[in-house]
Chain A
């Protein structure tokens, strides 16, 4: 029962909140959708924290796609053996994890230390940073220390297939039974974070302005409801 809850019901609840909440906010609360910046209040620490964190989390995202979304068969097919994969995952993932953790710590210190920033930090901001920090620290620990000293856990045989099975609506929750607790907590907290996205400023991650390089530099618009002819 417990297993069905955590690995079937809980992920779907979180996923639903994420999708419905995000669309709701985008459509009905458009003015609350932004990349929250306090750069106008403080620049030096932001430069260090924000840049390293954001690039780190992009690398970490790519790493998770490689580890969880891409099936192990793919690596076998292109001749990447387990040893090679884990070496790459530890080096690349470890670096990304350290960047994320470092960036978050800098941003957290910054939020405390500059009154102008501190006053305008909400509970939701702290929640997001602290939760991200816990998840990232666990991930980094698992990549750098757990997998080198305890066991190089092959999540590509358990977590990976389980995660993919969520998308086909045939959840293989039994795969998650025997995995190390550390991994279990990491996954559960991550889903919790996903569910919180529509309620925090994290929504800005869906707003990467990818069309910018190809659009015309100058934008003209006509007034609404106005027929020019």
Chain B
């Protein structure tokens, strides 16, 4: 048993209001520099929709993640030999237009325009070429809140897969927000795709990083990641990706996206897992069994044997204690209400999602009179098709989604009874049984999901620093030193000054 600790995140989709604050704060911290204009480590997608980059879930095109071939795990895009043969041109890599051409506006013109009959306008200017763009045709969240309508929704690979007619009439449509960051997978295909070995997973906290000195810009990680969360910086010619704000988590602080999340949908905590079992768990034949297989690699932080082994292997007390208090452990492993995004990619992703319930319940008009049993068919006929959620979060296994939604519905019934009264409906109904839960668990859940305070939502032990001799230097240093140009305004097109 090789015990490793992993910092992980849960996002409670019911609470996401789609405000993009997370994306903006992340961008301002990490990617507002030349070469990275098109990059969003954190993005929030309206689903159904193509996402960012367009159709990132189209594995036939980008060939990300792993597949089982002849009982063995292989990179979908091809192993080392085929990668080396394709090293001069990567057939599966996305182009800038699959993201969008980033632009700014010619604000200067507003200041300098001579007096004219009409008001001056600031025309869009490409941040890549510095030329005017007459008509921007795609951008980040171009399709926000289903604004692309029926022209854009069918571009969603999950919609194509369930082949269900998705109603686009105003009364019948559905939508949900899906905030995404790098999953900091247990079995990252980006790492395995890197010919140089520049990508690595940190021993201490499982954060997946790109070594900027070692990266040679071969670009296989960009599409090797099935979530499309590694980006090519065209200015430094190196790959960059979400780093889970490691300078913050090392100091015990939540990531910027979580810190600033308006809906407080995000939770961060530590989980312990057995690194020796990762490959086995990623290699189960049936994609529907991947979820359970993934759950089986995590270790119970209260088990004395696990604690003893972990301490032997250098995981210190504060990390073990954090693992015991971890909101992630509770939601994903204990209550099983948080699910991994696209488990069928076999990377064992570590950002978990509580599926959204509210839009379904809006369907119910007579909640006052509804008996608890009445919620069971309501969950089955909800507005977001169960198949759609299952395609995102459960490798098409609707039973998994149904169980989670029933539990969430049960929590709602129970807490409603408790706060506004209405008898003991839950005790006599089948809802508890079908959802496989108890009133005590529901109350615990309700507390964490609805009222938990900052230090219950973020249980992050500080990184060990006592052995670090560079502390004095690191205190004032910048994590993106040498990558970002000196502070100040950038003009477009950006010209690199090699002497910097």
Q: How far is the CB of A123 from chain B (nearest CB, A)?
A: 10
- Considering only residues 67-91 of chain B, those with a C-beta below 8 Å from chain A are 79-81, 83-84, 87-91
- Considering only residues 128-155 of chain B, those with a C-beta below 8 Å from chain A are 128-131
**Of listed A31, A38, A207, A229, residue having the most chain B CB within 10 A:** A31
Could you say which of B200, B212, B464 contacts A31, with CB atoms under 8 Å apart? B212
Judge whether B95 and A213 touch: CB under 8 Å: no
Pick the interface stretch among A39-47, A70-78, A155-163, A167-175.
Answer: A39-47
- Considering only residues 431-470 of chain B, those with a C-beta below 8 Å from chain A are 463-464, 467-470
Q: Mark B366-393, 1 if CB is under 8 A from A, else 0.
A: 0000000000000000000000000000
Judge whether A221 and B203 touch: CB under 8 Å: yes
Judge whether A41 and B96 touch: CB under 8 Å: yes
Judge whether A31 and B89 touch: CB under 8 Å: no
Could you say which of A37, A211, A229 contacts B219, with CB atoms under 8 Å apart? A37
Could you say which of A46, A54, A119 contacts B129, with CB atoms under 8 Å apart? A119
Decide yes or no whether A113 CB sits under 8 A from chain B.
Answer: no
Decide yes or no whether A181 CB sits under 8 A from chain B.
Answer: no
Judge whether A220 and B201 touch: CB under 8 Å: yes
- Which B residues touch A37, using CB under 8 A? 217, 219, 232, 237
Q: Mark A10-45, 1 if CB is under 8 A from B, else 0.
A: 000000000000000000001111111111111100
Judge whether A218 and B216 touch: CB under 8 Å: no
- Considering only residues 82-100 of chain A, those with a C-beta below 8 Å from chain B are none
Q: Which of the four size classes fits the interface of chain A?
A: 35 or more
Judge whether B218 and A218 touch: CB under 8 Å: no
Known contacts: A31-B236, A35-B218, A51-B88. The answer to whether A40 contacts B95 by CB under 8 A is yes
Judge whether B217 and A40 touch: CB under 8 Å: no
Judge whether B237 and A34 touch: CB under 8 Å: yes
Could you say which of A41, A207, A215, A226 contacts B216, with CB atoms under 8 Å apart? A207
- Which B residues touch A217, using CB under 8 A? 191-192
Q: How far is the CB of B56 from chain A (nearest CB, A)?
A: 15
- Which B residues touch A212, using CB under 8 A? 80, 83-84, 195-197
Judge whether A219 and B201 touch: CB under 8 Å: yes
Judge whether A225 and B84 touch: CB under 8 Å: no
Judge whether B219 and A39 touch: CB under 8 Å: yes
- Which B residues touch A42, using CB under 8 A? 95
Query: Which residue of B is nearest A227, CB measured?
Result: B467
Could you say which of A35, A53, A120, A220 contacts B234, with CB atoms under 8 Å apart? A120
CA distance A81 to B81 in the complex (A): 36
Q: Mark A188-229, 1 if CB is under 8 A from B, else 0.
A: 000000000000000010011101110101111111111111
- Which B residues touch A116, using CB under 8 A? 96, 128-129
Decide yes or no whether B248 CB sits under 8 A from chain A.
Answer: no
Could you say which of B90, B94, B192 contacts A218, with CB atoms under 8 Å apart? B192
Judge whether A222 and B129 touch: CB under 8 Å: no
Known contacts: A31-B212, A120-B493, A228-B314. The answer to whether A222 contacts B204 by CB under 8 A is yes
Judge whether A226 and B468 touch: CB under 8 Å: yes
Decide yes or no whether B287 CB sits under 8 A from chain A.
Answer: no
- Which B residues touch A221, using CB under 8 A? 200-203, 211
- Which A residues touch B215, using CB under 8 A? 34
Judge whether A226 and B238 touch: CB under 8 Å: no
Judge whether A40 and B88 touch: CB under 8 Å: no
Judge whether A41 and B467 touch: CB under 8 Å: no
Q: How far is the CB of B80 from chain A (nearest CB, A)?
A: 4
Decide yes or no whether B303 CB sits under 8 A from chain A.
Answer: no
**Of listed A32, A220, A228, residue having the most chain B CB within 10 A:** A220
- Which B residues touch A207, using CB under 8 A? 196, 216
14 A-B contacts (beta carbon < 8 Å): A34-B236, A35-B217, A39-B93, A50-B89, A54-B88, A116-B96, A116-B129, A208-B84, A212-B197, A213-B80, A220-B202, A223-B468, A226-B204, A227-B467
The 7 A-B pairs at the shortest CB distance, nearest first, are namely A209-B195, A217-B192, A228-B314, A34-B217, A30-B213, A213-B80, A34-B237
Given contacts A46-B89, A220-B200, 16 further A-B pairs with CB under 8 A are A30-B214, A31-B236, A37-B237, A47-B91, A50-B88, A50-B89, A51-B88, A53-B88, A120-B128, A209-B84, A209-B197, A212-B84, A212-B195, A213-B79, A217-B191, A219-B199
A residues adjacent to B (C-beta < 8 A): 30-43, 46-47, 50-51, 53-55, 115-116, 119-120, 122, 204, 207-209, 211-213, 215, 217-229
